Amino acid sequence: MTMPLLRVAFPALILALATAPLLAQQPDRPGPMQSSRPAPAAASAAVPEAAASGAGAFDPKQMFATVCGWCHSRGGREAGKGPKLMDSPLTDSELAYRIKAGKQGQMPAFASSLNDQQVAAMVTYIRTLKPEGGE
């Protein structure tokens, strides 16, 4: 009875030991609200170098178009993967917090990429959104 058990257990143990290093090297699996596909480079939490370093003027419209627009459709005027931001019921403080902290599994955090003035500029930009053609 123990011999058949060893025939199964020993190869399973060898297989587990052989594949453990490979499993340890795999990137983290996505959470329940994350896609298994990698995000487009522009949609990641990394902010363009000029915006993050302060080199040149910070342009919230350009930032929104290149980073936020991947999820907030039509420049934030319609819901997409992310919510519609035009006429948002959130307060300025809530918008600033969401930009800084993100939302797990749904939106990256930008606290380490944007300073307070840049976050405030993004909130101001969101507040100025008008229907297309109405700008």
Mean pLDDT of 42-54: 47
5-14, 28-37, 71-80: range with lowest mean pLDDT: 28-37
Q: Provide the pLDDT confidence category of residue 47 given band limits of 50, 70 and 90.
A: low
* Residue 78 pLDDT exceeds 50: yes
50 closest CA partner among 59, 37, 40, 42 = 59
Backbone phi, psi, residue 95, to 5°: -65, -45
DSSP state of 31: -
* pLDDT at residue 132, rounded to an integer: 80
* Residue 52 pLDDT exceeds 70: no
- Percentage of the chain with pLDDT > 70? 56
Where does 41-120 show beta strands of DSSP type E? none
Which amino acid is residue 113, in one-letter code? S
- Which residues, in sequence order, are CB contacts of 31 under 8 Å at separation 6+? 104, 105
pTM, to two decimals: 0.59
* pLDDT at residue 123, rounded to an integer: 96
Q: Which CATH code is given to the segment(s) 56-127? A: 1.10.760.10
Average pLDDT, the chain: 73
Backbone phi, psi, residue 72, to 5°: -95, 95
* pLDDT at residue 23, rounded to an integer: 42
